[in-house]
Structure 1
């Protein structure tokens, strides 16, 4: 975590630090706005549903216009395309650019300073994949953990509190339990799917490595008439990849089915309870609308929870590979205690000198 954090936090740039704090403020503001809209919607519905008398200053007609205007004013700030989310996306652009720029240049410089034996053993195609995916993954980790998953759970908590004080604790429990059970089931099934996806990605890397290495060494393949051999290697690698791709897609369909089942059962349970209380004059139409709105508001981002979790999981794997690359040390290093070379007359004598880039394969 410490190795990754230094790339995400601009230690020497106060302007970027202020932008990070601003993005947090915008995120929290968006959560508060989203959590208040269903309650305001309830007030509008109840005001419209109340009997009115002409000339009554306390009639809902005297303030319904303000409620409707306020409701749609909040809608301008809510959601992915709202003002708050758009402002947050704008603020995050220079932050993500800094992170990717710093990490890519640091990794590029590090790889150039590794010894030749590393480059001989490491396949070029695989190395390029590790660097590209690793650099992208740090931005994904930051965006999806802090600005996608965290707001979902914060909004669930805030919404449950509002429902607790405006409706009934039972609805708060139904709402919270459904959403948290949805998240737990998504994580559990996604963890089960991980072995399929991880194997698929490894085989995809192998396919890419075969193509890049074969085309890079085009002349060598031609010299040894290796076209059929290379083609068969790629064909077998593709078949193996598609087998894991099939398992990944089937398990994704199962995940989507389970998610939809949980949401439908939770929404049905709460809706039946609200309808029952309305029939007993213990609730009103606004309560029914508010519960439905809260449920839909929370269910919409949760539909992408599995995608967010999978991206975070994959980004963590990619980042782990990049960190492993950054942990590589040159096998040939200058001794810190070596004395400086003083120019002057002298001679160089090679006596029993041996050298090799790889163990067991002497070059000199």
Structure 2
């Protein structure tokens, strides 16, 4: 009975641990939701007040659709950036440090150095290629803002459009803006495919080299097979946050771009002094 109770207890502990992980993640999300939404509300309110604090000449010459996209995208990016930095970047850094420490104790500093080098090359490649994609994403955002501006302006002037029977011309103008956005969006997706392939090439190549080193040490009798299995499990575990890291970098950099555009807008002052 005692021997049978041990597996049952271990299974129960495993299930409880998984349930606790899910519970703590949801509690974290619930607590962060209050903070993030309050920050988004404050940012939106300040942006709204700033719009009404500008002079009428600028407001009449600006495009309401484009301003709406800038503010909406920035408030969404604020939540994403905070979430990525607090709940992805920091835990990934801690996980990498612990994994490398375990690899040093199991296979020595050589394999750990190879793993650290693979991670460093992966991060450098991701940062470099993502910076190249930033211009493409900016063009995509500009095209999206242009299409949104055409849509909002056409609705705002619907009476004039109907009076001059310009529905077909407005539809053509909107379709032209959508075609530009379509082209830029395709370029974004193509560059993303290239980035994903490069990341997988680095990860698979680096981790295959590590397994080759450990296999040679097993053949030489310097490393037991069980340690190789453990190292393989560590590498498999590291591949998951590495995949997330690329998305984290892309979302974070895009978030800073969106927040930068809103910051530039908030720095604009009224040409006419307010009383």
Which category of TM-score, normalised to the shorter sequence, fits these structures? 0.7 to 0.9
Residue in structure 1 matched with residue 41 of structure 2 by the alignment: 101
- Which of 164, 180, 188 is the equivalent residue of 1:240? 180
Report the more deviating stretch, 145-154 or 312-321.
Answer: 145-154
Partners of 1:292 and 1:67 lie apart in 2 by 27
Extract unaligned runs of 5+ from structure 2: none
TM superposition score normalised by structure 2: 0.88
Residues 251-330 of structure 1 correspond to what in structure 2 (within 5 A)? 251-330=191-270
Partners of 2:126 and 2:16 lie apart in 1 by 31
Alignment length (residue pairs): 271
Q: Give a deviation string over 1:167-190, Cα, whole Å, max 9, x none.
A: 311121122111221111111111
Partners of 1:171 and 1:315 lie apart in 2 by 36
- Which of 73, 76, 79 is the equivalent residue of 2:18? 76
Distance 1:138 1:102, change over 3 A: same
SS at match of 1:304: helix
Distance 1:258 1:74, change over 3 A: farther
Quick check: which has more Rg, 1 or 2? 1
**Structure having the larger proportion of residues in helix:** 2
SS at match of 1:303: helix
Give the C-alpha shift of residue 285 in structure 1. 2.9
Residue in structure 2 matched with residue 181 of structure 1 by the alignment: 121
Give the C-alpha shift of residue 118 in structure 1. 2.2
Please provide the CA RMSD for this pair: 2.6
Partners of 2:35 and 2:89 lie apart in 1 by 19
Partners of 1:273 and 1:197 lie apart in 2 by 40
Alpha carbons 1:207, 1:234 under 8 Å: kept? yes
- Which of 153, 158, 169 is the equivalent residue of 1:218? 158
Partners of 1:272 and 1:66 lie apart in 2 by 38
Q: Give a deviation string over 1:12-69, Cα, whole Å, max 9, x none.
A: xxxxxxxxxxxxxxxxxxxxxxxxxxxxxxxxxxxxxxxxxxxxxxxxx9xx979967
Give the C-alpha shift of residue 300 in structure 1. 0.5
- Which of 105, 110, 115 is the equivalent residue of 2:55? 115
TM superposition score normalised by structure 1: 0.68
Alpha carbons 1:211, 1:234 under 8 Å: kept? yes
SS at match of 1:296: helix
